[in-house]
A = this chain, B = another copy of it.
């Protein structure tokens, strides 16, 4: 079994804010992240798949294929977007790193299952100092 990882990135805005909470409670729980006009990040996405490489080509799966899938099912939906407003697969969830990484997993897993491999992990880095990982 070999694990291969492809990194892609996107830039997006978001805010962490509960509509039915007071400003004070939002500020208390979400701090600066609750700024009404939002803020944003350069996100890095690491997608890891696992399986057996082909005896001939030496490829588990061609990384061009992996990259195309990540771009079609994830990056085009989130890059230069507002994660609270613009993204179908994040409708009705707070766009924390935890929820976004899970949303990305759910976008990718059905597509990876069609290939000769399985999705192992999605890692989403929000800033230099924090990231979330999801293994399904």
Contact = CB atoms under 8 A, between A and B. Distances in A.
Contacts of A99: 53, 58
A102 B61 CA distance: 16
Contacts of A58: 16, 93-96, 98-99
Interface string A86-116: 1000000111111101100000000000000
A38 B80 CA distance: 7
A4 interface: yes
Name A's interface SS. Answer: mixed
Given A58-B95, A96-B59, A80 B133 contact: no
A84 to B, nearest CB: 8
Given A3-B132, A56-B94, 17 more contacts: A4-B131, A5-B132, A5-B133, A11-B127, A12-B40, A13-B38, A13-B82, A16-B58, A18-B57, A29-B57, A29-B62, A30-B57, A39-B79, A39-B81, A41-B41, A48-B133, A58-B96
Interface of A: 1-9, 11-14, 16, 18, 29-33, 35, 37-42, 48, 53, 56-60, 62-64, 79-82, 84-86, 93-99, 101-102, 127-135
